[in-house]
Structure 1
């Protein structure tokens, strides 16, 4: 399971793919020392939908995570189909 980092508007999310679910491992404001949310195992990590519900004011960050997720999921298919 690889770790991904997404940063938008001074907020950073570190997330992992767990099958086809986005598991949020850490969310923090980059200017603060304490994280908003942090877990150590993917099994205990909330998914993207749960984070959207809990922290709707970070919608720009969640949108960026979703965009990176889809870019990663679709990239191998695009190359294998010869579209790029």
Structure 2
């Protein structure tokens, strides 16, 4: 994913300056599964990723942090706006 962050994202923002960029939740999950393979992690991730309000997102992230702080910190490195 780091390769894309260095090259693809800046290139797309130059070509389409008014377009909002989002990460694919399925690809985030694939990266997450390298270390955290249980279905519970996927469930928490999808709850956070599909939250429709900031309050709901923060609530889901707190629940995730209570489940596994290390995994939640890994997820927090991805800016929520994406």
Normalized per residue, the structure richer in helix is: 2
**TM-score of the superposition, structure 1-length normalised?**
0.34
**TM-score of the superposition, structure 2-length normalised?**
0.35
